[in-house]
Structure 1
Amino acid sequence: MSLTPSARAPYNQRQTIVATTIGNALEFFDFTVYGFLALVIGRLFFPTLDAYGQLLLTVATFGVGFIMRPLGGIVIGAYADRAGRKAAMTLTIFLMALGCAMIAFAPTYAQIGIAAPILIVLARLIQGFSAGGEVGASTTLLVEHATPSTRGYFASWQFASQGLGILLGALLVGVLSATLSKEAMESWGWRVPFVLGMLIAPVGMYIRRHLEESLTVVPAATAPRRSSLTVVLSEHGKTVLAAVLSIIGGTAAAYVVSFYMPTYAIRELGLPPPVALFGAALTGLLSFALAPFVGRWSDRVGRKPLIIWSRIALVLLIYPCFWWLTEAPSPARLFIVVGLLSITLVVQTVPGITMLPEMFPKPVRASGMSLVYSVGVALFGGFSPFISTWLLNATGNKLAPAWYLLAMTLVSTLGLLWLKDHTGEILDKEPTGIQPVH
């Protein structure tokens, strides 16, 4: 039985949300599971160093993936504005699967020497290039399938999918850590998440075949001669600078709370690895569960009010939470701290990620979104674990990550004040013809 046009619109919306969420979740699973295995990978690929050196180089390699994000955002964002959102999303998924396969089957340092960490770095560069374009293309697709009154809800599924990927990765690594011996984990257990991550390739095929494109692709002969990056920088330069500044606080908090906290809890607080990883799983669960509700909330009250008030809450909570946790580390305290910080993170990130594509016109929306997000995350997100680890060692103060988060949150609020809130506004002249899902 075929659907009528009126019935097909909500169906297409749900299909877009489900397919995009699954694809994004698997991509973030692949990209972030490396962070949950930092201690194991450090022993296998940097064994000539002491424990601190192993950890520092491992989290630095985690951050290396973010160096390529701006380039991936520029190249894949331009591709998304030229060839369509679906084509760009499919490309990022296959690149992420390639990087995942390289890590899954990488020989260790004991087997091939210095070539082993070099191979890991190359894989992380490929994954970073992929991730740099994925967020822009997928968020733009979601926003362009929404109406002015549902953009926050649709875009929220981008962050919800990130939470789902984190949840799956932390749970899997936590279960492996709890059930396998140290020898088995270092022998083959650490490879399991990366092997499973290779399964994202079939999802890419599904997205390519079944999703409805939101961009009218212009034939190459009639396309504008100026590149989308040139247009973004020349016509929207001030917006780009303010937007990059505005997201650094949220990205720093996300990568410290979600990816560095397990390592911090194990190495600095002495908590068992499964407990620390299940704390990260709690972050993913809260992000996945709360993001759609925060998205609808932002559609009603606006993006900036939620971001500002959640950042005030985060500033007030950061230091007391870290102090309380370090005074008497326990699983209960870890879960409470992670839960509180995660809630503030969701409330500021969902409207923040919605604002980014709302700032740019449709012909360069994916490029603008990708550039802003990838640069902000590359500079202050991916290297947050590295900076936190270095600060802890340099100062000897277990509260050093709290001071870093506090500084990043306060600085990023300045950029937010310069941005216009486009909640409820019509972004494009042509109507989408899609009705909201009730």
Structure 2
Amino acid sequence: MLTAIDSHMETLDGADHGTQGASRPLNGRDIRILGLSALGGALEFYDFVIFVYFATVVGQLFFPVEMPDWLRLVQTFGIFAAGYLARPLGGIIMAHFGDLLGRKKMFMLSIFLMAVPTLVMGSLPTYDTIGVMAPILLLLMRVLQGAAIGGEAPGAWVFVTEHVPARHTAFATSTLSAGLVGGILLGSLVATAINALFDDATITAWAWRLPFLLGGVLGFVTLYLRRWLHETPVFTEMQQRQSLSTELPVKLILRDHLRGVMLAMGVTWLLTAAVVVTILMTPTLLQNFAGIDRGLTLEANIVAIVCVMIGCLVAGRLADRFGDGLMLLIWSVGLGVSFWVFFGRMQISTVGLFPLYAVVGFFVGLTGLVPAIAVKAFPAAIRFTGLSFSYNVAYAIFGGLTPMVVTLSIKVMPMSPALYVAIVCTIGALIGLGLMRVHHRYRRVAASAG
């Protein structure tokens, strides 16, 4: 892993990830780009995650009634996981053309490919109507969503970091990450509103469709908003210099940048544990295995997500000032400890549900640091492909399998979600220590050379 971190520093030394004038402050144009990118990402991410908030209802409607509840939940999370498993293919294809044809074009395409299947999901007939074709169609729509989101997050991170000054890279990615988390917040708010406005019978009958239909509409709103964004200065300059990659980008990263791939996949594993387990799965786990009321868990989830957004921005700002490694170390340790305390407490009592979950959410803000580390691991000509390949393959493996593994293991080991998060956060802390060590070494070499 240290050799991968060395690669990170070598790429950073010749950094071309920000705009010209790398030491200038953020200006109004930068803020507008960050704002529009974050807003668009929030609306697209809402489309992708709304499924998990209605996993229990969807499981009842799209699988046979006689199926045991735990098995139905596992199968439903399996369809949820299919979206993650489809991410690498969609991400690699869009990243390939993003490195050759431009970042903005793929930025527009990803949202269109997300909006259509989300609308269809809200209109699908259930198992009672068409039998086994219901879960098959649901699975197909989820795969299309996964292909779309595979190009969204990496493309967005590359887009914003190539617009802003290099010394604001972490804040730029943390702002966008906060926007993506805002999409989860929107999903949680909509789920809470549906739960408050309708009784269980009405939700099961038809109200569960409303969040998906809303998501499809919001997707087309996002498509309109992104018309106002411009191609990145870094890509434009590469076009003018005719320095775009002449080889297949994915071939180059596998041949020449495996150390960067290792680093990006390592920090992505940390991101998946933070988001999938502590934010997306925890409300359902608390409902099904701790017996906590659905409305209460969703309300607590909203508080946690707001704190994630705050944690992202704080972590990003501090990382630009004190270094990615130190902040990754602090946030990883904080998340591992806080989630262990929180999940253990919820097995006994709901006292402290809101404040403890809020602390967990703040440390999930490490998701703002991950892209700042990963985006620096690749040169500009293949950056989109390198980040997309590493991020999506890691997310497919860890994010896709985690829901099923955790759901199965919690039956025999109630603390398995917290144990999993603690193990991955330990790895995150070690990566943070490695980054600190290598940064210190490079600063010392630079000082000697000066």
What is the TM-score when the length of structure 2 is the normalising length?
0.86
1:192-227 Cα deviation digits (max 9, x unpaired):
1111111212321331344343322649x9854311
**Contact conserved, 2:46 with 2:186, CA < 8 A, in 1?**
yes
Whether 1:250 and 2:271 are equivalent positions in the alignment is yes
Task: Summarize the Cα distance change of 1:418–1:364 in structure 2 as closer, same or farther, 3 Å threshold.
Answer: farther
Q: Match for 2:316: what amino acid?
A: G
| 1:429 counterpart residue number | none
Name which of 251, 266, 270 aligns with 1:230: 251
1:403 maps to which of 419, 442, 450? 419
Aligned equivalent of 2:297: 276
Instruction: Kindly provide the CA deviation profile for residues 216-250 of structure 1, in whole angstroms up to 9, marking residues without a partner as x.
Output: 2649x985431111111111112202321233123
Return the offset for 1:414.
4.8
**What does the per-residue CA deviation read over 1:289-312, in whole Å, with 9 as the maximum and x for residues that have no partner?**
332232111100011111012212
Distance 1:117 1:209, change over 3 A: same
Task: Indicate conservation of the 8 Å contact 1:30/1:96, yes or no.
Answer: yes
**Cα distance between partner residues in 2 of 1:315 and 1:169:** 25
Residues 261-340 of structure 1: matches in 2 within 5 Å? 261-328=282-349, 330=350, 332-340=351-359
Output the CA distance in 1 between the equivalents of 2:243 and 2:375: 25
CA deviation after TM superposition for structure 1 residue 412, in Å: 4.6
* 2: CA distance, partners of 1:380 / 1:224: 30
* AA in 2 matched with 1:316: V
Inter-partner Cα distance in structure 1 for 2:272 and 2:280: 11
Question: CA–CA distance in 2 between the matches of 1:191 and 1:81?
Answer: 37
- The partner residue of 1:37 within 54, 66, 89 is 54
Alignment map for 1:44-59 (pairs within 5 Å)? 44-48=61-65, 49-59=67-77
- The range that moved more, 146-155 or 56-65, is 146-155
Q: CA deviation at 1:263?
A: 0.4
Match of 1:241 among 243, 258, 262: 262
Deviation at 1:191, TM superposition (A): 0.8
Within 5 Å, which residues of 2 pair with 1:22-421? Answer: 22-48=39-65, 49-199=67-217, 200-214=219-233, 215-216=235-236, 218=239, 224-328=245-349, 330=350, 332-346=351-365, 348-393=366-411, 395=412, 397-414=413-430
**Cα drift, residue 165 of structure 1:** 0.5
- CA offsets per residue over residues 310-346 of structure 1, 9 Å max, x none? 2122333333322222111x2x522223212111110
Matching residue of 2:447: none
> Is 1:21 aligned to 2:38, yes or no?
yes
Write the deviation string for residues 161-209 of structure 1: whole angstroms up to 9, x where unpaired: 1221111110111111122011110111111111111121232133134
Distance 1:100 1:33 in 2: 9
Letter in 2 for 1:98: V
Residues 124 and 272 (structure 1 numbering): CA distance in 2 closer, same or farther, change over 3 Å? same
Q: Distance in 2 between matches of 1:223 and 1:14?
A: 27
For 1:428, the equivalent position in structure 2 comes to none
Q: CA RMSD of the aligned region, Å?
A: 2.3
Mean Cα deviation higher: 353-362 or 336-345: 336-345
SS of match in other structure, 1:105:
coil
Q: Is the 8 A contact 1:242 1:419 kept in 2?
A: no
Deviations 1:86-138 (A, max 9, x none): 11111110011012012111110111111110011111111111111111111
Contact 2:173-2:372 at 8 Å conserved across structures:
yes
Mean Cα deviation higher: 369-378 or 123-132: 369-378
Tell me the percent identity: 27
Q: Deviations over 1:136-162 (max 9, x none)?
A: 111001101111221111111221012
Query: In the aligned structure 2, how far is the partner of 1:205 from the partner of 1:231?
Result: 34
- The match for 1:435 is none
Contact 1:161 1:288 in 2 (8 A): yes
8 Å CA contact 1:140, 1:357 repeated in 2: yes
One-letter code of the match for 2:335?
Answer: L
In the aligned structure 1, how far is the partner of 2:304 from the partner of 2:340?
19
Between 51-60 and 288-297, report the one with greater CA deviation: 288-297
Deviation, structure 1 residue 41: 0.3
Amino acid at match of 2:126: T
Q: Secondary structure at the match of 1:225?
A: coil
Whether the 8 Å CA contact 1:358–1:422 is kept in 2: the answer is no
CA distance in 2, matches of 1:274, 1:405: 25
| Residues 419 and 73 (structure 1), Cα distance of their counterparts in 2 relative to 1, 3 Å cut | farther
**Counterpart residue identity of residue 355, structure 2:** I
Q: Which residue type is aligned with residue 261 of structure 1?
A: T
- Kindly tell me the number of residue pairs found equivalent between the two proteins: 412
Q: Could you tell me which amino acid in structure 1 is paired with residue 336 of structure 2?
A: V
